Amino acid sequence: MRKYDKVGLIGLGVMGYGMALNLIKAGYTLVACDVNKERIKMIPDQDKVIAVDHPCEVLEHTNTVITMLPNSPHVLEVLEGEQGLLSGEIPEDLFVIDMSSISPDVTKEIGKKLEEKGVKFLDGPVSGGQSGAMNGALTIMVGGKAEDLEDAMPLFQAVGKNIIHCGECGAGQVVKVVNQLMSAINLISMSEAFTLGTKAGVDPEIMMNVIKGGSGRCWAVEDRMPQILKGNFDPGFTINLHTKDIKLAVDMAKNMNLPLYATNLVAELFKTAQVKGYGMNDNCAIIKLYEELAGVEVRK
């Protein structure tokens, strides 16, 4: 079993910050890197943090690095950029764990390149949102070798509760895309249905309580509808990020020549929400599109 003392974390955004707190709570010293230096300064236990300016500098302190970044280009830049992890001498037994949500195809390319360089690699995208990251309760979908997962398990257990080996390199990203696609479609179906019911004169809170016990129950109703009823669209997971994930599904289907009817419609609806300026709102703000059309608000 691989032993850890210092662990690198590149990317301390909405998800990475919560992961940082839980890695420190588990006893690790964090070698932290983020383009926004203020995110690192926000960590309460600064005596357990080594802040660095560039990804390559992380390797001066540890040979185990977790990345939690917005999209495929960011991960590639951190790995292969001018001051990326692979820009200098690669330390012995380097282990890279990418927990971002990115293209499965890009992930497979990364895995192949790193394997050629003798670097261990896992993809481990997560689900559970900001609350899951803060509470150390993320679901982690892992792609890669089983023996590498065994080595990474202490780190995964520090930030997650449900850790599932999905298959070979890239499999974790595939499952994450599927999950995000389903949650997006559920958000749309919920938005349409609750706007319809509210327009027809029924209290949306009553509808929510009924549907929670019915066949229409889903994460969107149980987790997001309570926030919609409060009019709270502060981001836990933004429309911008969810739109990116839906596009990954569209691209995958295109590459496989697979028609996905609802997926393409949902992609256009989320794109419309971006154009309307809702991109930095929580993904449940997608309901605003339907509220505007219906002339009602789904609120308590």
pLDDT tens digit sequence for 21-47: 999 999 999 999 999 999 999 999 999
In the set 108, 120, 176, 244, the catalytic residue is: 176
Domain check: are 190 and 115 in the same one?
Answer: no
Domain check: are 148 and 237 in the same one?
Answer: no
Query: Are 249 and 260 in contact, with CB atoms under 8 Å apart?
Result: yes
Q: Which of 7, 290, 293, 2 is nearest to 159 (CA)?
A: 7
Which range marks the domain in which residue 273 is found?
174-294
pLDDT tens track for 103-153:
999 999 999 999 999 999 999 999 998 889 999 999 999 999 999 999 999
Domain check: are 135 and 158 in the same one?
Answer: yes
pLDDT tens track for 185-215:
999 999 999 999 999 999 999 999 999 999 9
**Count of domains forming the chain:** 2
CA–CA dist 238, 252 (Å, integer): 22
230 has catalytic annotation: no
pLDDT tens track for 77-93:
999 999 999 998 899 89
Report percent pLDDT > 70 for the chain: 100
Query: Are 158 and 22 in contact, with CB atoms under 8 Å apart?
Result: yes
Q: What does each C-alpha distance from 142 to 24, 107, 165 come to in angstroms? A: 22, 12, 5
How is residue 149 annotated by DSSP?
H
pLDDT band at 231 (very low <50, low <70, confident <90, very high): very high
Is 299 contained in some domain? no
